[in-house]
Each structure stands twice: as C-alpha cells, then as structure tokens.
Chain A
Amino acid sequence: MVKKSLSKIYMVLIFLFLYLPIAVLIVLSFNNSISRVHWGGFTLDWYRELFQSETIMSAFYTTLSITLISALVSTIIGTMAAIGISAMRKKGKAIMLGATNIPLLNADIVTGISLMLLFVRFTNLGMSTVLLAHITFNIPYVILNVMPKLNGLPQHTYEAALDLGATPAYAFYKIVWPDILPGVFSGFLMAMTMSLDDFSITYFTKGAGINTLSTMIYTQLRKGILPEMYALSTILFLIALLLLLLINYRSLEHPARHRKERK
C-alpha cells in the first residue's frame, strides 16, 4: 500500500530529524581531531581525558547534584501539594492550579530574570540560588504527574480503611501510595529531565563561580567546544537510554506482576 509506505517514510524522516544531531555528537566524541568537520580516525582519547579534566568534572558534579536534589525536593513538595490540593474545594483548587501553571507557561527568560532580581536582593548568586530556581520550575511537573493519579483514585477505599481501624498513615501507605506511585515516579523523572536540560533559568540565577554543563557549554561556544564534552554527553545519553529502556521494558513485560506485588 502506497499510503502505508508513505507514512513509514514520513516517520523515519521525523526520527532522523530528531536523532541526527545526536548521532553527529556521538560520532564526534570518537573523532581523533579537534576539528569539527574532519574525521581524523577513531579514538577513545576524549573519554580518557574527560575524567582528568577538572573543569568538566566539577561542572558535571554540580549538574548532577542540582538535578538530583532539585528533583527530589520538588517531588516531595509537589506530591504533598498534590495531595493537599486534591482535598481542596473548587475555588482553592483553581487558584492553586493556576499558580502552578505560572512557572510552567511563563517564558523561561522571564522566570529566570524575576528569580534573579529576587535573589540578588537577599543573597549572593550561587549553587543554592540555582537549586531554589530549579525546584521552583520542577514542582509543577510533579504536580501535573501526581494529580491525575489522585483524581483517578476510588473515592471511598481510603475512608473504608479508616473505618476498619487503620491509622491515617497506614491507610495512606497501603491504599493511596501504591496508586499514585507511578505518577510520583514519572514526576521525578520529568523533573530530572527538565532540570538537566535547563539553560536559561540556570544562566540567570547562577553566580560567577559555578557552572553547570549547559552554562559551561555556553561559555565555550565562542572559544570552541572541548571534544571531551561530546564524550560526556554521549555517556549521559547512553545511561539515560539504558535506564529508560529498562523502565519501559519492565512495565511492558510484567504489568500483571506489578499489580500482584502491591497486594
């Protein structure tokens, strides 16, 4: 069928469009030449030098800690917020969800600048201000992921558990938690992705002393990117690919088992 093969070609073209630059970066990470346009043979040197480069490793640790801490804190605050918001009356709910939309829909550059203006008034810009900024834009993603799970919860099971003598904490742990856990988890992943990929907000809220990978690349743009950066991004990309495949594979293969485990 013509239509079918046309749609296949179309899909391949879109995926090529999305993944071509990634392929280029991976190839460059093995290129034995500092030039970006010439292939100088295969090498693993950049991977070796990467771990010796103090600037890159320190930017990497900064990025990693900001990503993990901000994702963790925003998951905790966001999950609690979602539980609280779901118990609110209509009006309160609307206000809270409206406020949640602000950092989500506002322009990154405006969010970054407005936070910077606030931070410089009270403190010096540095790692902690970046963290606060990241938590701020991450919480909405967690709430968006947890809210639908809470809304889909059967209404009276929790109350039934209380009537049968469970403590609120026990009832929550046994009844609400297993159902919202996938939402909490995907919220955490989403927050990590957003935090890792962010440039604009970090750029405005970081002090002079610290760099994340994104801001370091930005400063390198004019002088030329260190090839070690390609190596590092390749490693990060492959780790993400593996992790996400693993998660997908697990839930693909054993949806039934997961249900059973919970009981």
Chain B
Amino acid sequence: MSKRKRRLFAGPYMVWIIGFTVLPILMILYYAFTNADGSFTLSYLAGIGDPVHLKALLLSLRLAVECTVICLILSYPLAMILHGLNIKKQSFVVFIFVLPMWMNFMLRILAWQMLLANNGIINHLLNLLGLHSVRILNTPTAVVFGMVYDFLPFMILPIYNSMIRIRKDVIEAAKDLGANDRIVFFKIIVPMTMSGVISGITMVFVPALTSFVVSDLLGGGKVLLIGNVIEQSFMQGSEWNLGSGLSIVLMIFVIASMAFMNSHSKETEGTAVW
C-alpha cells in the first residue's frame, strides 16, 4: 500500500476533528460574541470585568499556581527516588499512579472531605498525638489540597518518564570528569528532565485553573473559582452567552500558559505522559 493510500486511514478521524473539535469551538465563539438577537457584541467577553468574576479568576489563578508548585515540589524527589529503585518494568510505576483513578474521583475527594473534617479522622489522630486540630475544610487551602491529590500523578509520570531516559553512562562520565552530586544534579539531571517538568506543569496547571468540582466539594460553596462561575451560568441560570464569554477568557489563559510552556521546551515530541 502506498503512503498516499495509507493516509486515507486518517480520514474518519479528520471528519471527527472537524465535527467534534472545530465545530464546537466555533459554537462557543458564536455564543460568546453574539447576544440573544444574534447581533455582534463584546459585552459577554467583558463580563470578566465584573468584580465577582474577576475575583473568581484571580483566585483560580492563585490556587492553580499554588497547586502546580506543590505538585512539582512533591514529584521531583519522588521521581528521583523511583528512578533510583531501578524498577525493571516501568509500566508498574505507571500502574501504581493510574490505579487510584479506577475509584471514582468524586468519591475519593469526598473521602478527603471526611478525613479533613473538623471532627474527622485526621484531627482525631492529631489530637491523640497532642497536636492542635486543623480546620482547613471549606477554605481555599482544602481546595488546593484536593487538587494536589487529584493531579499529582500527572506531574510525577512525565518527570519520571524523562528521568528514566537519562542514560547512566552520561552521569558516570560526568562523575569521572570530577563532577560532584550537586553538579550532576544541576548540570545533567535538571536540564535533561526539563521537558518532563514542563509537560507536567501543563498537565497540572490547566486542569487546576479550570476545575470546578474540587472547589465544590472541599470548598463547601465558599470558594468560588472561575470554573464554578461558568458552570453556574450554564447549569443554574441559563446565561449561555455569558458562560461562553467567560469560557473564551478561560481558553485565552489556557492557550497563553501552553504557549509559555512551548516556548520553554525545545522538543515537545515524546513528552506525553504515557
């Protein structure tokens, strides 16, 4: 079969992309830029300027940054430890981090709600140890906690994947040439895992910025993120145009953060999580 004929196999997918990726985006653009009569307007896009919406967006950005930084700080040492274990079957490592996803994520977050509750298990344990109880439920801290829990695998796996690609002899060569552990870490390991770090950041930051369920469950309705505003404008009120306008603003932030990441990674190929 010639290459030309083989290309035809992508045909159904092309149709699918046009129908279910491109068209929906055009629809959301249409709703965002027109009012009820169908005439052009920018007022829905400007809806982000409303103090409530702006506050939600800024809070989302803050929490997403916090979540991403914490995930990175937790994941990097873990990836190094896992790498040091020399597990032959790397798919086993992936397996450990993917397995929790088979328990419904909302139930898992709900379990955290029980664990973190003021009279929950964690506070009981803290009291037993003679420590003060923590009151974090229904605060932004709890939301960050839940997001870190939910998105941590998406940071660990790309970093781990990029780390196992570093060949041992490169590190040995550096050591032979007199580099100490610190230099090996900063001059070899960090630069060579940068692509993994960057794809990890993207995989965590975007979902954290746009999530609305975690804030619903752990924020107790007191933490309003931009995702919650958009969800409510579609599901509670029926302000579809406003919701679309805010979605476009959100998309601009998503695209901007991805462009930022892309400009900082030399090669994007092969940095997929799995």
Contacts and interface: CB of A to CB of B under 8 A. Distances in A.
Interface of A: 7, 10-11, 14-15, 17-22, 24-25, 28, 36-37, 77-78, 80-81, 83-88, 92, 96, 99-100, 102-103, 105-111, 113-118, 121, 132-133, 135-136, 139, 141, 143-145, 148, 162, 168, 172, 186, 190, 193, 196-197, 199-200, 204, 213-214, 217-218, 221, 225, 229-230, 233, 236-237, 240-241, 244, 248, 251-252
A20 B113 CA distance: 12
B114 A77 contact: no
B89 interface: yes
Interface string B136-154: 0000000000000100110
Interface of B: 1, 3-4, 6-14, 16-17, 20-25, 27-28, 31, 74, 77-78, 81-82, 84, 89, 91-92, 95-112, 114-115, 117, 119-121, 149, 152-153, 202, 206-207, 209-213, 216-217, 227, 230-231, 234, 240, 243-244, 247, 250-251, 254, 258, 270, 272, 274
B4 to A, nearest CB: 8
Nearest to B23: A118
25 contacts: A7-B77, A10-B77, A17-B152, A22-B108, A22-B111, A24-B111, A84-B6, A87-B7, A88-B10, A102-B21, A103-B21, A105-B202, A105-B258, A107-B207, A110-B28, A113-B230, A113-B247, A114-B247, A115-B24, A116-B234, A117-B24, A141-B274, A145-B274, A193-B98, A244-B95
B48 to A, nearest CB: 14
B243 A113 contact: yes
Contacts of A96: 10, 13-14, 17
A168 B216 CA distance: 54
Among all A-B residue pairs, the 7 with the closest Cβ atoms: A84-B10, A21-B111, A107-B210, A81-B13, A114-B24, A84-B9, A240-B102
Contact of A144 (B81, B99, B206, B274): B274
Contacts of A118: 20, 23-24, 27
Nearest to B27: A117
Contacts of A200: 212-213
A20 B125 CA distance: 14
Given A105-B206, A108-B210, A240-B102, A84 B112 contact: no
B106 A87 contact: no
B103 A233 contact: yes
A207 to B, nearest CB: 13
Contact of B217 (A7, A10, A162, A221): A221
B258 A99 contact: no
A28 B4 CA distance: 57
A200 B211 CA distance: 9
B268 to A, nearest CB: 9
Given A11-B81, A121-B27, A144-B272, A237 B17 contact: no
Of B4, B21, B112, most A-chain CB atoms within 10 Å: B21
Nearest to A110: B247
A243 to B, nearest CB: 9
A81 B103 contact: no
A107 B13 contact: no
Contacts of B97: 18
A110 B114 contact: no
Contacts of B14: 96
Nearest to A252: B89
B181 to A, nearest CB: 11
B9 A83 contact: yes
B21 A237 contact: no
B31 to A, nearest CB: 6
A25 B89 contact: no
Contact of A110 (B107, B117, B210): B210
Given A10-B81, A77-B16, A252-B92, A83 B270 contact: no
Contacts of A14: 74, 78, 152
